[in-house]
Amino acid sequence: MSPQRKIRVAVLVSGGGTNLQAILDAAKRGELPSAEIALVVSNKAGAYALERAARAGVPALTITKQDCGSQEAFESAVLAALEANGIEVIVLAGFLAILSERFTARYPRRILNVHPSLIPAFCGAGFYGLKVHEAALARGVKVTGATVHFVNEIPDGGAIIAQKAVPVLEGDTPEVLQRRVMEEAEWQLLPAAVETVCAELLRQ
């Protein structure tokens, strides 16, 4: 019996790569039977996520807008790398570059992003990283969480795949809340969503 075909996945990163690590760990535990993490692309030279990819034996590239000279040239370079590696699904894991409609239209319902709030709260242009948690605390919400969604040309605007709520506790700082949302929501939701989307593509 031939082994099951797997969907080739690329993870796009900008920083430390904690969400990438969650995906790699899930794959190692056998929780991503439909997916193969085939490539990591960083838009920041020296991002720690590249070290995580190397440790997991996943090929990794650095492609920066600075080196490419423009957004269009940057996106073309990323697309060329994805095509050269036979990538079918893209995961944005702490990827801080906004992708144009020209890019996202090439991969309809095949680009996933994790956002550290319950969309539609605290999302859209300008809401990323600690800013999301600062806004949630300033608003006084009692519950926050994370959302995995498909990516289209609108920041945080694509269809929602999965959400998980996380309590906001008395005395939370943005950093403490960020860590809880990662541990209790992002790191669980994202690998599961990758498997769901890849399994669905294999059924088509």
Mean pLDDT for 97-113 is 94
What pLDDT shows up at residue 155? 86
Q: What percent of the chain has pLDDT over 70?
A: 99
Segment 148-173 shows an average pLDDT of 95
What pLDDT digit, counting tens, does each position of 3-14 carry? 689 999 999 999
Tell me the longest C-alpha to C-alpha distance in the chain.
Answer: 57
Domain boundaries, the chain: 7-203
What is the average pLDDT across 156-167?
A: 96
Fold topology of 7-203? Rossmann fold (3.40.50)
Q: Which CA distances in Å does 146 have to 14, 25, 55, 134?
A: 19, 19, 27, 15
pTM: 0.94
Annotated catalytic residue: which of 44, 115, 133, 149? Answer: 115
pLDDT tops 60 at residue 22? yes
Confidence of residue 82 (pLDDT cuts 50, 70, 90): very high
Active site residue 115: yes
Provide the mean pLDDT of the chain: 95
